[in-house]
């Protein structure tokens, strides 16, 4: 019988330094990677990728012309998903965004709605916030999608030309005014393609997505579809 020394050592370390579930904080058991089986079972996955007339798409209709739009999970205040998003954005665990991006990418591959994509474009952070946080969680989400779908990630396309105030606590109109004309497209050494997938971590009012989509369409004339890790309810 052959033994995997790496797994044996990993199990031994886990006895004294157990990893925690990103959603509920309980100790992960054998073969549980980032979230426990119970949380994975109870997460509010949407299946929005299977049909066009979903809540994420409806939220953007009339504001910007999009091809398709979907979100992986639903976000409610005080929920497991809220803790997950907190871990990703503020507790230095961007690999969780990549993990869920990969899982979602496998599902998008099964959907006829997301065929023919040429690139995955993440919503960028302003350089000041990127320096402070150390990473862009939307880029990690896009990396997971890219790896699963075998579509190039293009984080060189969009740039935030000014820092914006936090959207938390703002009403719907103020959120749109806060991100108006905030994005610009950079000069590209390689063509972007005809149909891009714009990705972000959380969809709230949709103001950020709308602003970025309009910038892409006005600059490159491309079709845009949208995918987010979560959609706030």
The model's pLDDT over 86-138, given as tens digits with 9 standing for 90+, comes to 999 999 999 999 999 999 999 999 999 999 999 999 999 999 999 999 999 99
Whole-number pLDDT of residue 93: 97
Return the pLDDT at 1: 41
Domains, the chain, with CATH or none: 1-42 (no CATH), 44-232 (3.40.50)
Q: Is the pLDDT of residue 46 over 90?
A: yes
- The confidence score (pLDDT) of residue 158 equals 96
Query: What are the DSSP calls for the chain, one per residue?
Result: ----HHHHHHHHHHHHSPPBPTTT-PBP-TT--SS-HHHHHHS-B--GGG-SSSHHHHHHTTTS--S-EEEEEEE-TTSHHHHHHHHHHHSS-THHHHHHHHHHHHHHHT-GGG-S--EEEEPPPPHHHHHHHSS-HHHHHHHHHHHHHT--B-TTSEEESS-----TT--HHHHHHHTTT-EEEPP-SS---SEEEEEEEEESSSHHHHHHHHHHHHHH--EEEEEEEEEE-
Band the pLDDT of 6: cuts 50, 70, 90.
low
pLDDT given for residue 161 in this prediction: 87
Q: Tell me, rounded to whole angstroms, the distance of Cα 37 from its chain centroid.
A: 22
pLDDT value of position 30 = 81
* Lowest-pLDDT range of 12-26, 102-116, 137-151, 180-194: 12-26
191 phi-psi bin (left φ>0, alpha ψ -120 to 50, beta other): beta
pLDDT band at 233 (very low <50, low <70, confident <90, very high): very high
Q: Is the pLDDT of residue 18 over 80?
A: no
pLDDT for 51 equals 98
* Residue pLDDT, tens place only, 65-82: 999 999 999 999 999 999
pLDDT at 171 over 70: no
Determine which of 13-17, 22-26, 83-87, 107-111 has the lowest per-residue pLDDT on average: 13-17
């Amino acid at each position: 019988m052959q033994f995997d020394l790496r797994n044996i050592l990993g199990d031994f370390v886990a006895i004294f330094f157990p990893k925690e579930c990103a959603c509920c904080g309980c100790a992960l058991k054998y073969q549980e990677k980032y979230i426990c089986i119970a949380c994975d079972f109870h997460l509010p996955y949407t299946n929005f990728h299977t049909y066009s007339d979903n809540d994420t798409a409806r939220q953007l209709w009339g504001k910007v012309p999009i091809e398709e739009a979907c979100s992986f999970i639903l976000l409610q205040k005080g929920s497991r998903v809220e803790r997950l998003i907190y871990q990703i954005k503020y507790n230095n665990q961007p690999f969780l965004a990549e993990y869920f991006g990969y899982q979602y990418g496998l599902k998008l591959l099964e959907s006829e709605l997301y065929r023919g994509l040429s690139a995955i474009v993440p919503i960028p952070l302003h350089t000041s916030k990127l320096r402070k946080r150390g990473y862009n969680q939307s880029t990690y989400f896009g990396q997971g999608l890219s790896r699963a779908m075998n579509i190039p990630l293009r984080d060189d396309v969009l740039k935030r030309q000014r820092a914006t105030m936090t959207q938390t606590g703002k009403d719907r109109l103020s959120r749109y005014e806060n991100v108006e004309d905030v994005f610009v497209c950079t000069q590209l050494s390689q063509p972007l393609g005809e149909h891009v997938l714009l990705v972000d971590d959380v969809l709230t009012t949709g103001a950020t997505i709308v602003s970025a989509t309009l910038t892409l369409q006005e600059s490159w004339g491309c079709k845009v579809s949208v995918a987010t890790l979560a959609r706030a309810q």
